[in-house]
Every structure is written in structure tokens, then in C-alpha cells.
Amino acid sequence: MDTITKKDLIDRVAESTGVKRADAKKVVQAFLDQIVAEIGRGNRLEFRDFGVFEVRERAPRMAQNPKTLQPVAVPAKRTVKFKLGRLMKQKLDRAAAPGTPAVELKLAGTPAARAPRVGAAR
């Protein structure tokens, strides 16, 4: 399985849309900044068919230090939960079936020949 970085994503967006890489970088960064800002405000972000990001409150709890075996209080904290959307879930389910190829996620309008498969060797 490959790791796709923000740089890789920017390059793919620039190539598939025909815009300059610098412009694609601005758009991708602005999009990510907005996601972070909205999550920071505690808002739920829903991207139809892709998935939903939402903030969850984790209750305080008692844990155990594995080295000393002493109880440790873990404070409450906020975390982000991601729930798969319909299309992403379908892609992952198809890839999990025996005899099916690796998941191929591509940007709309990108020819499949140019979009490398997730999990393909580099």
C-alpha cells in the first residue's frame, strides 16, 4: 500500500484539471484549512458519497501505566471521527472481495490510465 502525500495530491489535481501546480496547491491548501477550521469550531462536515467528519468528545477515564502498573487519569478530549460515504464504502467493499483488483480512487474527469491504483508499486 502506498502513502499519498499532499504534494502527490496537488500534482494529481493540477494534472487532471489542467491548472498550474501553484494554483492547485492554493486550492488544496485552502480546502484543508477550511476543514481544520470547521472541525476546530466543532462543526460536522458532510461530503456526500465521500464521508462525514465530526468531532467526538471522549470521556475522562482511568488507564494503567504499563511500566509501573499504576493507575493514571486520562483527561477528557476531543477527537475527530470519519464515517465512510456510500461510494467510498462500495469501492472498499469491492476491493475486499476475492479476486478483485486493488481500490482505484481517481478524481472526476481523470482517465483511469493516468490515475495509479492505490496499493500499486511505485
Spell out the residues 6+ positions from residue 65 whose beta carbon is closer than 8 angstroms to its own: 71, 72
CA 19 to chain CA centroid, Å, is 23
Residues in the chain: 122
Secondary structure letter of residue 60 according to DSSP:
P
C-alpha–C-alpha distance, residues 53 and 39, integer Å:
8
C-alpha cell recorded at residue 103: 481500490
- Beta-bridge partner residues of 58: 77
- Per-domain residue ranges for the chain? 6-96
Q: How many other CB atoms are found less than 10 A from the CB of residue 31?
A: 11
Specify the CATH architecture of the domain 6-96.
Irregular (4.10)
Instruction: Walk along the chain (122 residues) in steps of 10 and give the mean pLDDT of each run.
Output: 93 96 97 95 93 95 95 95 92 75 48 44 44
C-alpha atoms less than 13 angstroms from C-alpha of 37 in its C-beta half-sphere? 6
R_g (Cα) of the chain, nearest Å:
19
- At residue 46, φ and ψ (nearest 5 deg) are -115, 120
pLDDT for position 114: 43
Prediction pTM value: 0.66
